[in-house]
Structure 1
Amino acid sequence: MQRRISLIPQPQQLTAADGDLDLASLGAIASDPELRSLAWLLSDLLDRGTGLRLPVVDHAEGPVLRLRLDTPAPERPADLTTAAEAYRLDVTADGVDLVAAHPAGISRGIATLRQLLPPDALRDAPAADPIVPLVAIRDEPRLRWRGVMLDVVRHFQPKDFVLKMIDRAWMHRLNVVHLHLTDDQGWRFDVPSRPGLAETASWRAETKVGHARDESAGYEPTPHGGFFSVPDLREIASYARVRHIMIVPEVNLPGHARAVLAAYPELGAGQNEPVCPTFGVFEEVLEPTQASLDFALEAYTAIGEVFEGPFVHIGGDEVPMTQWESSPIARELMEREGIADVRGVQAWFTKAFCDHLTGMGKRVIGWDEILDGGAPQEAVVHVWRNEAYVKKAIAAGHQVVASPEPYCYYDHYESDGPDEPLRIHGHTPVEKVAGWDPVPPGTDESKVLGIQCQLWAEYMPSPKDVEYAAFPRLSVLAEVGWTNLEVREANPVLDRLGDHLERLHAMGIGYRPLEGPKPWQRGGTGRRKRFDREFVEHPAE
């Protein structure tokens, strides 16, 4: 019996034929020289999951698995375009032919080919035969940016888990992994010229038990922390580069600065507060001084030199104005620069960050609050509050990455069931994600760069907690970003999700079952118990 072809994301065009191909009947992987690293990666993955080791060669006689580029280098589409990720995949009785105009398209085609294998071929040791159905696929993404954000600040996640999440993004044909590296609760990367970041800002003395708004719970008096060394970051960058995944590092300033100021209090108003042990929005901000600006630019230089991708995220969300309103330093800046409103102090920081990163050959992306007081035209606005801000940012002339909280925040509850583990608030089931169109009616789709889901980790202390929150919602979001609306409607993703869970299981992902949490995934009655509070969308200003 022919195996059902069930892929997530669904390709734009898929034509199946009767029969299967045993990849063991092929003599080699024949690869263009520029695709050699991808060819060896595919060979390694086939060997790992099926025991089949295909050699990588330039040319071979007879049936082969062929990877080839059909466009000369000078004519290839630019990175971060749909054309760069387009591919053609043909599986016939005579072999496999994977063709694209750009290596990124070959990478996406390999991800699809891996899903054509039996689910057990995704395991870390041989557990399946290398059998794929005969099929012809013509495919390219709807949106250019399809990402997942990992918050490694609120709870630090080790490097090996970051690498696993890069692989999982790749398997779902996502192309961005956004690393949220700094916040009030910690600073997560080494800047050798600023030793206080690793020595002080990277750890906190205790952590809030339960929900931050649950006053009946106390604190766990165990130090928590960690940071990535420069070699760690370079390894993450290299790992992602081979898979054509763009790492977008975020250094969130000038707010969310408690960890920075614990190490360098002279950069703030001098409160001398420790790294924050609980969660929320806090008043501490960088003072608008040359010393603070020099620090920020030093940090952006350090992270921008490690990750060669075109984007650096400057954060900029939830910046309280309280300290600046009473600051003589801020008042003097406003008078000197002709700033009429205190919100312009954040805009002063934003412009300086943008100018510096532009000089490094980078583009800036920041949360939608950078619109307040005016953001440089070249900045991409990362909308998090709701879809009204998508329209607001586009009207102001910006490209947008859409991550509206009601659809993309996977720190929201997966269901209204009492057994769900602790979340911040909200209710975002897979059905809601599956029904979302990320381009609001009346919006110029070309201005919507893409979409991204957010894994804020206040209440995700371990990798297994992140996995439960992410999957299968991330899988569904991957289809929302990749597949055209008419294809989604003709073959709904929820009809294929059960099959896809077999892949997640084979990969060792602790996903949430569609029927609800397993006993060991439930919140229980202790520190992981459910805590409900009303979720209210932010009104557009």
Structure 2
Amino acid sequence: MQRRISLIPQPQQLTAADGDLDLSTLGAIAAAPDLHPLAWLLSDLLNRGTGLRLPVVQSTAKDPAGGRVLRLALEGHRPEDFTTAAEAYRLDVTPEGVDLVAAHPAGIARGIATLRQLLPADALREAPAAEPVVPLVQIRDEPRLRWRGVMLDVARHFQPKDFVLKMIDRAWLHRLNVIQLHLTDDQGWRYEIPSRPKLTEIGSWRAETVIGHAREDRGFDGTPHGGHYSVSDLREIASYARERHIMIVPEVNLPGHARAVLAAYPELGAGQNKPVSPTFGVFEEVLEPTQAALDFALEAYTAIGEVFDGPFVHIGGDEVPMTQWESSPIAKALMEKEGLEDVRGVQAWFTEAFCAHLHAMGKRVIGWDEILDGGAPAEAAVAVWRTQAYVEKALEAGHEVLVSPQSHVYFDHYEGEDEGEPLRIHGLTSVEKVAGWDPAPDGVDESKILGAQCQLWSEYLPHPRDVEYAAFPRMAVFAEVAWTSREVRAAEPVLDRLPEHLERLHAMGIGYRPLEGPKPWQQGGSGRYRRFDWAFTEPEAE
């Protein structure tokens, strides 16, 4: 009996046949030399979950099984990097073997992710627990959007390097292609710049953290929290992602959200001499528009841009209060010198300098939609987190847009109405809400949509298990929204396939949220992680 083939994201075309193929009957993984890194990665993953070790051989070599192989091949004109065509692939599983063909190695990487989902769920475990059997199938696939990302906030609560690597693997399995690392904020600076040692000595940790929600008055825990990634850590993350054709986009959020910077180097601000923030929110402390502060920021962008070789660097730019600049003689002098009519022009001064510097490094800038308020260079991409109006504003100004509205893809919002849900910032974003969202609705020029991204802000996600619960299964549903065409999504509803997909998440050891609600040990209870609701008004539906 032909079994149902359930994949997330759903491929654009899938034709199933009766029967299965036992991969242990194949002789090798045959690949051209430039695909050998992916071939060995696939060999290692098969060995880990099933015990099968397929050797990697040259495409033209003869193998012990008389030509029955798992073939990885590049065919056709190679597309440009970071295009949907670069991630297109063709996967054929027949009684004679497996053919995975693409025009770009990124397409091979996406096809491997699909092949792994064709295996039994237990093949995703860390030790042999399943037979290496896949159904006979023909798949033709290509993503809808170029950028399909997830943002990890490692600033509010530091997450260890090993967990970042796990999240890269989980993104890969779901055919996502971007991990944004939110590396700096008021609550901590998370990467090493050897020439600026105080960033890690002082700025990377806080003395304590607020108990419960920042809007409550429950005091502080008295426990230091901190951590940072060394240059070697960052290079490992970059290399790990590169092998899987995942782009790391580092975010250094300036000129606002600067409390950790100013705790280390108070001379770069207005001299408030405040510590790294132990609570969450928006704070008035910003970089002063001095040459010293600008030099620091450019040094910070240079350091991170040299580690991650992807084309994008995120400059942040969100929630920058104007209060300090409104009363600053330094800001006033800059406005007079530059002919700035509005204090928002001070942020635009920083943004323009950041863009020029990173452009000279061969990088593209992306920033949160607030960079539009004072004006931003047209070549800067804009990540819209507020409402549809900002998507339209950015498009009208000539920017490419990354669509990531808090109303649908902020996974620090509550997962459900259950009173037992653990503490979140506010809001409600269920899997059903994510499944019903369209990042490029009718009336929007989809060619100008850079892509879509979900966000895992970590104010109330202190540990990896908390991130997992917030992320899954919503991140899996988001992956389908970003990859699969509207027509296929309508014909093959993702929520119908989600229960089977949870078996994969379980096999991978992911502490996901069950569809029916949290398990007793996942609930917030009556302690520091108890649910706290306040009068938050959702933005209008997009």
> Structure 1 length as normaliser, TM-score?
0.98
Distance 1:253 1:295 in 2: 11
Residue 185 of structure 2 corresponds to residue 180 of structure 1: no
Distance 1:454 1:51 in 2: 36
**CA pair 341-537 structure 1, distance change in 2 beyond 3 A:** farther
Aligned to 2:304: 303
Aligned to 2:526: 525
Distance 1:267 1:36 in 2: 48
Distance 2:2 2:265 in 1: 64
In the alignment, which of 64, 67, 72 is matched to residue 62 of structure 1?
67
What SS does the corresponding residue of 1:78 show, helix, strand or coil? coil
What SS does the corresponding residue of 2:140 show, helix, strand or coil? strand
Could you tell me how far 1:223 is from its partner in structure 2? 0.6
**1:303-342 aligned within 5 A:** 303-342=304-343
- Equivalent residues of 2:2, 2:17 under 8 A apart: no
**1:343-492 aligned within 5 A:** 343-492=344-493
Distance 1:388 1:471 in 2: 29
Distance 1:535 1:485 in 2: 31
Could you tell me how far 1:441 is from its partner in structure 2? 2.5
Aligned to 1:103: 105
Could you tell me how far 1:2 is from its partner in structure 2? 2.8
One-letter code aligned to 2:152: L
What SS does the corresponding residue of 1:261 show, helix, strand or coil? helix
One-letter code aligned to 2:3: R
Aligned to 1:78: 80
Distance 2:276 2:230 in 1: 20
After superposition, give the CA deviation of every residue in 1:28-65 in whole Å (9 maximum; x if it has no partner): 00001110000000000000000000000002342000
Distance 2:279 2:296 in 1: 25
* Structure 2 segments unaligned to the other structure (5+ residues): none
Aligned to 2:133: 131
What SS does the corresponding residue of 1:208 show, helix, strand or coil? coil
After superposition, give the CA deviation of every residue in 1:501-523 in whole Å (9 maximum; x if it has no partner): 00000000000000000010001
Distance 1:436 1:185 in 2: 32
Distance 1:109 1:384 in 2: 31
What SS does the corresponding residue of 1:437 show, helix, strand or coil? coil
- Equivalent residues of 1:86, 1:100 under 8 A apart: yes
Could you tell me how far 1:539 is from its partner in structure 2? 8.2
Aligned to 2:46: 46
Distance 2:536 2:121 in 1: 38
- Equivalent residues of 1:472, 1:501 under 8 A apart: yes
Aligned to 1:197: 199
- Equivalent residues of 2:427, 2:538 under 8 A apart: no
Aligned to 2:278: 277
Distance 2:393 2:94 in 1: 49
Could you tell me how far 1:373 is from its partner in structure 2? 1.0
Aligned to 1:36: 36
Provide the aligned length of Structure 1 versus Structure 2: 536
What SS does the corresponding residue of 1:220 show, helix, strand or coil? coil
- Give the superposed CA RMSD: 0.9
One-letter code aligned to 1:211: H
- Equivalent residues of 1:385, 1:537 under 8 A apart: no
Distance 2:9 2:389 in 1: 27
One-letter code aligned to 2:481: V
Residue 502 of structure 2 corresponds to residue 501 of structure 1: yes
Could you tell me how far 1:392 is from its partner in structure 2? 1.2
- Structure 1: which 4+ aligned runs deviate by more than 4 Å? 537-540
What SS does the corresponding residue of 1:527 show, helix, strand or coil? coil
Residue 123 of structure 2 corresponds to residue 121 of structure 1: yes
- Equivalent residues of 2:407, 2:539 under 8 A apart: no
What SS does the corresponding residue of 2:202 show, helix, strand or coil? helix
Distance 1:534 1:42 in 2: 49
Could you tell me how far 1:3 is from its partner in structure 2? 2.6
After superposition, give the CA deviation of every residue in 1:48-106 in whole Å (9 maximum; x if it has no partner): 000000000002342000000003xxx41111100000000000000000000000000
- Equivalent residues of 2:298, 2:354 under 8 A apart: yes
Distance 2:388 2:466 in 1: 28
Could you tell me how far 1:535 is from its partner in structure 2? 2.2
**CA pair 539-506 structure 1, distance change in 2 beyond 3 A:** closer
One-letter code aligned to 1:408: V
Aligned to 2:517: 516
- Equivalent residues of 1:198, 1:227 under 8 A apart: yes
- Equivalent residues of 1:386, 1:537 under 8 A apart: no
**CA pair 352-537 structure 1, distance change in 2 beyond 3 A:** farther
One-letter code aligned to 2:31: S
- Equivalent residues of 1:66, 1:96 under 8 A apart: yes
Could you tell me how far 1:214 is from its partner in structure 2? 0.5
- Equivalent residues of 1:116, 1:133 under 8 A apart: yes
Distance 1:536 1:375 in 2: 29
Distance 2:229 2:381 in 1: 26
Could you tell me how far 1:201 is from its partner in structure 2? 0.1
**CA pair 539-488 structure 1, distance change in 2 beyond 3 A:** closer
One-letter code aligned to 2:167: M
After superposition, give the CA deviation of every residue in 1:456-490 in whole Å (9 maximum; x if it has no partner): 00000100000000000000000000000000000
Report the more deviating stretch, 197-206 or 75-84. 75-84
What SS does the corresponding residue of 1:44 show, helix, strand or coil? helix
> Structure 2 length as normaliser, TM-score?
0.98
- Equivalent residues of 1:155, 1:457 under 8 A apart: yes
Distance 1:534 1:254 in 2: 29
**1:229-268 aligned within 5 A:** 229-268=230-269
Could you tell me how far 1:537 is from its partner in structure 2? 4.3
- Equivalent residues of 1:204, 1:223 under 8 A apart: yes
Could you tell me how far 1:386 is from its partner in structure 2? 1.8
Could you tell me how far 1:536 is from its partner in structure 2? 2.3
Distance 2:166 2:321 in 1: 35
What SS does the corresponding residue of 2:345 show, helix, strand or coil? helix
Give percent identity, aligned residues only: 79
- Equivalent residues of 1:387, 1:440 under 8 A apart: no
Aligned to 1:7: 7
One-letter code aligned to 2:510: I
One-letter code aligned to 1:62: G
After superposition, give the CA deviation of every residue in 1:220-258 in whole Å (9 maximum; x if it has no partner): 101100000000000000000000000000000000000
